[in-house]
Amino acid sequence: MQENGFCIKSVFEEDAAICIDRTHFIFNGEIYSLNQCSDIFDWFGESQVGDFTYYYDRVVFHASKGHYFAAYIDDITNYIEV
């Protein structure tokens, strides 16, 4: 899960459970903080560098220099610039 960008808070080996911090995501070596959108087009105008949002089956990242990337939530190596 860490290889796919999820921030793991704790692991409970006896229960075979993992606690994930869904308010942070690691993408291309950078940590992004959740800024959840209700409308993706408004989010593009209102978000800050370092923000991300969940959008259907994807995660959208506001990267530096005005770049935005969308990746599948279950495979962040499969991404495009939007």
Per-residue pLDDT tens digits for 8-58: 778 888 877 888 888 999 999 999 999 999 999 999 999 999 999 999 999
pLDDT at 77 over 90: yes
CA distance 30 to 10: 20
CA distance 62 to 49: 5
pTM, 2 dp: 0.85
Q: Residue 33 corresponds to which tokens in the numbers above?
A: 């903080």
CA distance 7 to 43: 23
